[in-house]
Amino acid sequence: MKYTQGKYIIKNKSAIAKNTYSYTVRCPEVADIAQPGQFAHIRVDGFTLRRPVSICEIDKKCGTIRIVFEIRGNGTEELSKLNEGSLIDMLAPLGHGFTLNSKFKKVILIGGGIGTPPMLSLAQYYGEKSVAITGFRGAGSVILQEDFKNSGAENIVCTDDGSYGIHGFVTQPFGDILKKGGIDAVYACGPMPMLKKISEMSKENNIANCEISLEERMGCGIGACLVCACKTKKNDEEYFAHVCKEGPVFNAEEVIW
Amino acid sequence: MKYTQGKYIIKNKSAIAKNTYSYTVRCPEVADIAQPGQFAHIRVDGFTLRRPVSICEIDKKCGTIRIVFEIRGNGTEELSKLNEGSLIDMLAPLGHGFTLNSKFKKVILIGGGIGTPPMLSLAQYYGEKSVAITGFRGAGSVILQEDFKNSGAENIVCTDDGSYGIHGFVTQPFGDILKKGGIDAVYACGPMPMLKKISEMSKENNIANCEISLEERMGCGIGACLVCACKTKKNDEEYFAHVCKEGPVFNAEEVIW
Amino acid sequence: MSDLSVNVCGVNFKNPIIPASGVFGYGREYEELFPLSALGGIATKGTTITRRNGNPSPRIAETPSGMLNSVGLQNPGIDKFIDTELPNLLKKNTVILANIAGSTIDECVKIAEKLSSTDVHMIELNISCPNVKQGGAAFGTCPETAGEITRKVKNVLPDKPLVVKLSPNVTNITDIAKSVEAGGADAVSLINTVLGMRIDINTGRPILKNNVGGMSGPAVFPLAVRMVWQTANAVKIPVIGMGGVSSGKDAIEMMMAGASAIQVGAAIFTDPFAPIKIIQEMNDFLDTKKIKSISDIIGSVKPW
Amino acid sequence: MSDLSVNVCGVNFKNPIIPASGVFGYGREYEELFPLSALGGIATKGTTITRRNGNPSPRIAETPSGMLNSVGLQNPGIDKFIDTELPNLLKKNTVILANIAGSTIDECVKIAEKLSSTDVHMIELNISCPNVKQGGAAFGTCPETAGEITRKVKNVLPDKPLVVKLSPNVTNITDIAKSVEAGGADAVSLINTVLGMRIDINTGRPILKNNVGGMSGPAVFPLAVRMVWQTANAVKIPVIGMGGVSSGKDAIEMMMAGASAIQVGAAIFTDPFAPIKIIQEMNDFLDTKKIKSISDIIGSVKPW
Ligand SMILES: Cc1cc2nc3c(=O)[nH]c(=O)nc-3n(C[C@H](O)[C@H](O)[C@H](O)COP(=O)(O)OP(=O)(O)OC[C@H]3O[C@@H](n4cnc5c(N)ncnc54)[C@H](O)[C@@H]3O)c2cc1C
Ligand SMILES: Cc1cc2nc3c(=O)[nH]c(=O)nc-3n(C[C@H](O)[C@H](O)[C@H](O)COP(=O)(O)OP(=O)(O)OC[C@H]3O[C@@H](n4cnc5c(N)ncnc54)[C@H](O)[C@@H]3O)c2cc1C
Ligand SMILES: Cc1cc2nc3c(=O)[nH]c(=O)nc-3n(C[C@H](O)[C@H](O)[C@H](O)COP(=O)(O)O)c2cc1C
Ligand SMILES: Cc1cc2nc3c(=O)[nH]c(=O)nc-3n(C[C@H](O)[C@H](O)[C@H](O)COP(=O)(O)O)c2cc1C
Ligand code: FES
Ligand code: FES
């Protein structure tokens, strides 16, 4: 694993939904090696622990990565106060990202709420071979739709309250597409109940490559402190994996729910 | 004692010497009641304890006060990062200031280093009736000279290294003026050895009104927590006075050195 | 508007927020900023049998998210407290907890006796002051002594609720709490300050003239929550919680851990309006969560 | 360039800075950022007799200027440590402290026996882990047990320096330290984490699945300095200090209090380069003050 720590310039900041911010950060050495599904461990002034945030876009040419995050507590609130031109202290790129396979013909990307951002870099990789299904509480929290459209992915949006796109959960369109068959891989990030359901549906439909991105509270972020344990199966034995290093992306088969 | 707590706008910020800053703060309710020698207890983001800083100028007409401080540690460093337009959280005006007497014909004001600022408001009160003697390490730390000149006070400056004004300590010109006699009061603020010397010299010369401003680490700043104790005499008995309430200005006779 | 009132061993508080002993004096200075009647109660500065000057200065140091103090129980003595401070305080329409300390058990008993005939609402017996040589923490770190002193003091206070204030500088807080409960305490309060030290590396000398001092403020909050939780689960008498509370959320958290009321210390130095803001924030939290009475959250934490 | 080297019970450290046990794993991950040879030493993750999975997640929570952890000694077991981690570590040109823990005295002795024939430089016996049910802190809070376990472990380690790691969750740290010294410890290290708790007020449940956890980080620094000072004055063996050190100034302060070397824990989470920066800052301080050797400041504080 290769990663680095540095203070990088925020080239672009935008508020993309209520309490949700997008930062584009110039960090060529990170962009150069980053993979979809990896994350940055971000230092926030006044806090002892860093905050993990997924890498949402990787632009190797411009030497930038993009992160998108929602204010959830004091740390993300403080983080949201940075401005264009400010320095952001990142330890990145960290973790084990999604398995990319240029031979795949059709993949489904599923993002739930603030789990959506890491799906964008996959959409940009797979382009027209991908269907992006994203789900949000309501119209007010819908994010990144323009970007998904630009990626070439087929784009399906759901909201819990029907105020935007399809009324209902992502599992509905997901089920419909599964039925049609021909799916090489499913990638998902979002709330645990959603991930569980998607894993089950993928298994029922014999999708070998179902990868999901998990969250766990972290210390070091690089695999040294064993703080971010998550129960998994390895060769059918129970195994405490570490989300920051062996994850955050796991094959759905490995996860113990 | 009347005081208030609030967040007030910094109308003017200037760097007046190396690591030394001047803030003019709009706070009509404070300016209205503030007296020379009183102080503001200033909250600094990220710190549990407030920082006491003397009131340097009081402009009742504009509703402003001025403070001047030097970076000494983390708190004053953080404080120095505020900008014009920022809010500063002050508990003010606090403490027992200098005794003003419009009948006094000649007074001496002595400021040593960063003890100089509170002398300015006295100079502005006494105007031509006052001689301001200020002492600094060297030319680089000389402050407020323009202001003292504008106040009408006779202005004497000393530096330890002779790089500005008289070469030597403030006690030298002070001694010279004492000898000439006719002094109604002496006011001083600065390092303890200087204050001690001035008190002794005043006593030897039978100056009844020698008032000095002391420093002590503080908690509440208003007389409730008894943190800022300083040994004094009261009716010849030892008495633990509190710098924040009974001081910071004490009659030199009261202090136990 | 939720019901913020709590009852602690028979005494009604209009809300659970009490400025802690030692940071608030006798309230006079803070009255300039807000009416004392807005407070649930006031714990007065620790009072000893005779006047004490306390320790030499400096008596305070800043620490990460906290502070150290080594005031050392400066106070005018119990007689002066009863004559000049208490009558005034009792007019303020808030619960008065008279905090007392002694260097011998006898002294504590004598002070309590003097207070027993006053109208003070509660006595808070400090057996945990880290800043005095005799008595103080020594009483609070040994279960037997803590029980004994409680018994003797309670003896002369048959009609007044006795709160015993515990030290966090112990291996097992529940042993002390149980012993104090058995001794007849009507409630316990905790935590007092955590013994700490800072050195000025430029001079090579301790910042406090007393060398060591008591740490308080947000830094100690997790320790205080843990001890409140352990204690509330170990005794039947109510627990008054304190240590690092600086927001309404903190107060709610400590009450969930088992505190029936909350004292606020160092936070008042940072923001003199802290107690008032905390009361408001607690009210807002209850309103948002549609909880009718603050009493419902006391000890409500569900451990895993 | 000052002389930063220190000698702790016969072992030479090129500088006094050692990543603390539990935050640094076996160093593999940090090697990506800087050479391990830049460090004075490395304290490895606590190792038990057999593999342990540790406690369920979440295992970490943020606190004001600090954090709580409840990892619970997850590790691959001593055999795997000796086979796969130690040989690699011993190549890194830095002092290796093997941190060990057991749920019985026997277990500790067995682990120590296994290590006695390796080339590890020092053994750090953790008798103070607050995150495991048996053993751990239980050993570290009773002077007699602490002395006994030290004696039995030292017995099988005649040729290896034994450092015993103490818990701050005690009434009297010097009692434990003296007892451990009498038991044959070559040095003590302190402090381990301070037991604390946080509750998520929105769910009404503890943030840590283990309910309670160990507090560390800058918040505990004044407590650690006090305990290091007390301990250094109570025993003749060297003290390795830790608890909240996050800058060169902190390290200097703790060494003035009496520490011969310094471990750095939580600060590494905030800044993975913390140990390297601390070494640099210590050097700068000594240069500015024209102090030739860091050893000159150990225990140099002059109390009032
Ligand atoms: C691999 C990974 C990728 C993530 N990617 C994103 C993203 O792209 N966008 C986004 O908005 N959020 C993302 N999150 C969640 C994000 O880390 C949390 O929302 C954030 O840490 C909350 O911090 P806070 O200070 O606002 O909350 P607080 O509750 O104040 O945080 C307290 C502590 O808990 C931790 N914590 C709280 N919630 C979480 C959580 N859900 N996951 C992990 N740690 C948590 C914090 O990091 C901190 O250590 C990701 C989490 C992980 C593990
Ligand atoms: C009544 C009064 C008036 C003052 N007026 C001025 C002024 O006009 N201009 C100015 O530059 N300075 C003034 N000072 C000194 C100023 O308060 C300190 O320099 C400042 O508190 C240092 O804070 P720090 O965070 O930079 O230092 P740190 O050393 O990091 O502070 C740590 C703690 O010690 C306290 N402390 C440190 N030094 C002093 C000190 N000399 N006096 C009181 N507390 C101290 C701090 O307030 C804080 O609580 C005054 C002090 C007092 C008591
Ligand atoms: C300056 C100061 C003085 C104190 N004096 C006393 C005292 O006289 N009696 C007492 O029982 N506790 C005293 N305490 C302890 C507080 O009442 C309280 O237990 C402690 O500060 C923890 O709460 P906090 O973190 O909110 O400050 C004092 C605390 C401070 C900061
Ligand atoms: C995540 C984590 C895991 C730890 N694991 C161990 C351990 O296995 N053995 C041990 O003796 N101490 C362990 N500790 C305690 C540290 O070694 C150290 O004593 C403590 O964190 C105080 O130092 P700090 O404030 O610099 O973090 C651990 C601490 C943390 C934060
Ligand atoms: S956060 Fe340290 S191992 Fe994952
Ligand atoms: S600082 Fe509280 S009494 Fe002076």
Residues of A in contact with D271 (CB under 8 A): 5, 43
Secondary-structure class of domain A4-94 per CATH: mainly beta
Tell me what pLDDT residue D61 has.
Answer: 98
Residues of A in contact with D273 (CB under 8 A): 5
Atom of ligand 4 nearest to the CA of D128: 11
Ligand 4 pocket check: which of D21, D62, D253 to mutate, most ligand atoms within 8 Å of Cβ?
D21
Instruction: Report the C-alpha gap between A160 and A113 in whole angstroms.
Output: 11
Per the structure, the complete domain to which residue D216 belongs is given by 6-297
Q: Are B148 and B120 in contact (CB under 8 A)?
A: yes
- Measured in whole angstroms, the distance separating CA C89 from the mean position of its chain's CA atoms is 17
B:52-111 residues touching chain C, CB 8 A cutoff = 75, 91
Q: Domains of chain A: which residue ranges?
A: 4-94, 107-213
Ligand 5 proximity of A114 Cβ (cutoff 6 Å): no
Ligand 5 proximity of A220 Cβ (cutoff 6 Å): yes
Tell me what pLDDT residue B225 has.
Answer: 96
The answer to whether position C24 is within a domain reads yes
Radius of gyration of chain A (CA): 17
Transcribe C112-127 into DSSP letters: HHHHHTS--SEEEEE-
Radius of gyration of chain C (CA): 18
Give the pairing of strands C187-190 and D17-19: unpaired
Atom of ligand 2 nearest to the CA of B215: 53
Q: Which residues contact D268 (CB under 8 A, 6 or more apart)?
A: A220, D19, D23, D24, D30, D274, D275
Q: Are D35 and D111 in contact (CB under 8 A)?
A: no
| pLDDT per residue of chain C (304 residues) written in tens, 0 to 9 | 789 999 999 999 999 999 999 999 999 999 999 999 999 999 999 999 999 999 999 999 999 999 999 999 999 999 999 999 999 999 999 999 999 999 889 999 999 999 999 999 999 999 976 666 555 567 888 999 999 999 999 999 999 999 999 999 999 999 999 999 999 999 999 999 999 999 999 999 999 999 999 999 999 999 999 999 999 999 999 999 999 999 999 999 999 999 999 999 999 999 999 999 999 999 999 999 999 999 999 999 999 9
Tell me what pLDDT residue D140 has.
Answer: 83
Left, alpha or beta for C60 (phi > 0: left; psi -120 to 50: alpha)? beta
Residues of C in contact with D209 (CB under 8 A): 304
The answer to whether position D303 is within a domain reads no
Interface test with C, best of B225, B238, B255 (most C CBs within 10 A): B225
- For residue D56, give the DSSP letter: P
Q: Is B72 exposed, middle or buried, given 0-12, 13-18 or 19+ CB atoms closer than 10 A?
A: exposed
3-state secondary structure labels for all residues of D101-157: CCCCHHHHHHHHHHHHCCCCCEEEEECCCCCCCCCCHHHHCCHHHHHHHHHHHHHCC
> Can you give the CATH number for the domain in which C105 is found?
3.20.20.70
Ligand 2 proximity of C144 Cβ (cutoff 6 Å): no
So what's the architecture of B107-213 in CATH?
A: 3-Layer(aba) Sandwich (3.40)
The alpha carbon of residue C176 is apart from the nearest alpha carbon of chain D, in Å, by: 12
| Amino acid, res. D298 | I
Q: Which two tokens stand for residue C51?
A: 């006047």
Task: Tell me, yes or no, if C53 comes closer than 8 A to chain B by beta carbon.
Answer: yes
Q: Which residues contact D79 (CB under 8 A, 6 or more apart)?
A: D114
Transcribe chain B into DSSP letters: ---EEEEEEEEEEEEEETTEEEEEEE-HHHHHH--TT-EEEEE-TT-SS-EEEE--EEETTTTEEEEEEE--SHHHHHHTT--TT-EEEEEEEESB-PPP-TT-S-EEEEEEGGG-HHHHHHHHHHGGGEEEEEEESSGGG---HHHHHHHT-EEEEEETTSSSSEES-THHHHHHHHHH----EEEEES-HHHHHHHHHHHHHTT-SEEEEE-----SSSSSSS--SEEEEEETTEEEEEETTTT-BEEEGGGB--
Ligand 2 proximity of B69 Cβ (cutoff 6 Å): yes
Task: Tell me, yes or no, if A178 comes closer than 8 A to chain D by beta carbon.
Answer: no
Q: Which two tokens stand for residue D120?
A: 């590890």
Catalytic residues of C: 129
Atom of ligand 5 nearest to the CA of A242: 4
Question: In chain D, which residues have pLDDT < 50?
Answer: none
Q: Which two tokens stand for residue C113?
A: 């006796």
Q: Which residues contact C8 (CB under 8 A, 6 or more apart)?
A: C122, C161, C187, C238, C240, C260, C261
Residues of A in contact with D30 (CB under 8 A): 222, 224
Interface test with D, best of C223, C255, C282, C296 (most D CBs within 10 A): C223
Question: In chain B, which residues have pLDDT < 70?
Answer: none
Which ligand is closest to the CA of B74, given by its number? Answer: 2
Instruction: Report the C-alpha gap between C129 and C52 in whole angstroms.
Output: 14
Per-residue pLDDT of C238-283, as tens digits, reads 999 999 999 999 999 999 999 999 999 999 999 999 999 999 999 9
Instruction: Report the C-alpha gap between D3 and D40 in whole angstroms.
Output: 13
Ligand 5 proximity of A224 Cβ (cutoff 6 Å): yes
Q: Are A9 and A85 in contact (CB under 8 A)?
A: yes
Total domains, chain C = 1
Atom of ligand 6 nearest to the CA of C60: 1
Q: Identify the residue whose C-alpha is closest to ligand 4 atom 15.
A: D192
D:225-244 residues touching chain C, CB 8 A cutoff = 225-226, 229, 244
Are the Cβ atoms of A220 and D33 closer than 8 angstroms? no
pTM, two decimal places: 0.96
Give the pairing of strands D239-241 and D212-216: unpaired
| Amino acid, res. A129 | K
Q: Which residues contact A48 (CB under 8 A, 6 or more apart)?
A: D62, D63, D65, D66, D67, D217, D218, D266, D269, D270
The partner residue sitting opposite C269, judged by closest CB among B2, B4, B49, is: B49
- Average pLDDT, integer, range A59-76: 96
Instruction: Report the C-alpha gap between D296 and D101 in whole angstroms.
Output: 33
Task: Tell me, yes or no, if B206 comes closer than 8 A to chain C by beta carbon.
Answer: no
Tell me what pLDDT residue A208 has.
Answer: 87
Task: Tell me, yes or no, if A214 comes closer than 8 A to chain D by beta carbon.
Answer: no
Q: Which two tokens stand for residue B176?
A: 């010279």
D:213-232 residues touching chain A, CB 8 A cutoff = 217-218
Tell me what pLDDT residue D130 has.
Answer: 63
The answer to whether position C283 is within a domain reads yes
**Position A240 pLDDT exceeds 90:** no
Are the Cβ atoms of D62 and A48 closer than 8 angstroms? yes
Q: Which two tokens stand for residue B15?
A: 């760097």
Rounded to 5 degrees, φ, ψ at B204 are -55, -35
Tell me what pLDDT residue D169 has.
Answer: 95
Question: Residue A66 forms beta bridges with which residues?
Answer: A24, A57
- Any catalytic annotation for residue D129? yes
Tell me what pLDDT residue B181 has.
Answer: 86
Residues of C in contact with B229 (CB under 8 A): 53-54, 56-57, 59, 71, 74
Q: Cis (ω within 30 of 0) for the bond into C191?
A: yes
Instruction: Report the C-alpha gap between D161 and D258 in whole angstroms.
Output: 19
| Gap from CA of A242 to ligand 5 centroid (Å) | 6
Tell me what pLDDT residue C133 has.
Answer: 59
Are the Cβ atoms of C66 and D65 closer than 8 angstroms? yes
Residue list, ligand 6 pocket, CB within 6 Å: B 218-221, 223-228, 242, 244-245
Ligand 2 proximity of B53 Cβ (cutoff 6 Å): yes
- Average pLDDT, integer, range A134-155: 94
Residues of C in contact with D197 (CB under 8 A): 222, 225-226, 229, 257
The answer to whether position C183 is within a domain reads yes
D:3-32 residues touching chain C, CB 8 A cutoff = none
ipTM higher than threshold 0.90: yes
Instruction: Report the C-alpha gap between C285 and C301 in whole angstroms.
Output: 16
Residue from D16, D13, D81, D70 nearest D45 by CA? D81
Instruction: Report the C-alpha gap between A40 and A7 in whole angstroms.
Output: 12
Are the Cβ atoms of D269 and A226 closer than 8 angstroms? no
Residue list, ligand 1 pocket, CB within 6 Å: A 39, 49, 51-54, 68-70, 72-76, 114, 117, 215-217, 248; D 62
| Amino acid, res. D15 | N
